[in-house]
């Protein structure tokens, strides 16, 4: 029973926790290639400047069937942000696989902008030997200095990106709000099942032991009542 309870807890935890980063190191040539992609992508896609530069740096999935002309209009699935024109080499890998990398990218605004920096999660995929941006989501929005606002955090902000709207703190529910209840439901289902299975095994053992004892007693009783061979009646 204890093992089953531990297994249920493991299942619940696996549903409610984010994926664990793979224990794979990123090759230096791949890191440099990603540096080049981010140096060109961020100052183009976020502030909507020289958009033709970022069109060829995204996967077909992120492009969503948009033509180059449509991309150049600026109605793209990237959150609009006045990103500073600088080198973006200080990112941290969150998940590394053979042909996919998720990085944590801290983007500073231009000096004239009255907004704070934003931490983005950027997914990149290797397609045809090239690293391309596959998805961009917001991890945290930091307030501008002296604004008195609070830090906003939340991973699921894709609708806000697709519509090009500023965050208002009322985005969709984070994945945790769904996975945590699911994990608790899974635990609530597995625990009674484990209890039932444990009791069922215990009852089966008890029935078997009773049958063995009953047959043994009946055998002894029949032997005690049977007249001895060649004896008197």
Start-end of H helices in the chain: 2-16, 28-45, 52-55, 60-63, 68-72, 158-163, 176-225
Start-end of H helices in 94-175: 158-163
pLDDT digits over 48-61, tens only? 999 999 999 999 99
pLDDT digits over 99-148, tens only? 999 999 999 999 888 899 999 999 999 999 999 999 999 999 998 887 77
Check residue 143 and give its pLDDT.
Answer: 86
The first and second tokens of residue 170, run together, are 């009322």
Cβ atoms of residues 30 and 101 within 8 Å:
yes
* pTM (global) more than 0.85: no
Cα–Cα dist 113/147, whole Å: 13
pLDDT digits over 180-222, tens only? 555 565 656 555 556 555 555 555 555 555 554 555 555 555 5
> How does strand 100-107 pair with strand 118-127?
antiparallel
pLDDT digits over 156-188, tens only? 444 444 434 444 434 444 455 445 555 565 656
Q: What is the DSSP letter of 133?
A: E
pLDDT digits over 67-89, tens only? 999 999 999 999 999 999 899 99
């Amino acid at each position: 029973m204890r093992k089953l309870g531990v297994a249920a807890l493991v299942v619940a935890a696996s549903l409610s926790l984010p994926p664990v980063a793979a224990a794979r190191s990123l090759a230096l040539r791949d890191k440099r290639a990603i540096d080049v992609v981010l140096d060109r992508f961020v100052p183009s896609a976020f502030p909507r400047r020289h958009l033709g530069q970022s069109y060829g740096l995204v996967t077909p999935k992120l492009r969503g069937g948009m033509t180059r002309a449509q991309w150049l209009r600026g109605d793209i699935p990237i959150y609009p942000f006045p990103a500073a024109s600088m080198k973006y080499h200080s990112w941290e890998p969150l998940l590394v696989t053979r042909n996919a990398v998720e990085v944590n990218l801290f983007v500073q605004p231009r000096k004239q902008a009255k907004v704070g920096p934003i931490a983005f999660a950027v997914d990149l995929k290797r397609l045809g030997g090239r690293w391309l941006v596959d998805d961009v989501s917001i991890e945290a929005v930091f307030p501008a200095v002296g604004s008195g606002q609070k830090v906003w955090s939340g991973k699921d902000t894709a609708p806000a990106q697709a519509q090009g709207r500023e965050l208002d703190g009322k985005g969709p529910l984070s994945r945790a709000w769904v996975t945590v209840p699911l994990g608790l439901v899974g635990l609530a289902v597995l625990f009674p099942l484990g209890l039932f299975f444990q009791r069922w095994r215990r009852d089966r053992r008890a029935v078997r032991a009773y049958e063995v004892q009953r047959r043994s007693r009946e055998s002894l009783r029949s032997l005690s009542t049977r007249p001895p061979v060649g004896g008197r009646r």
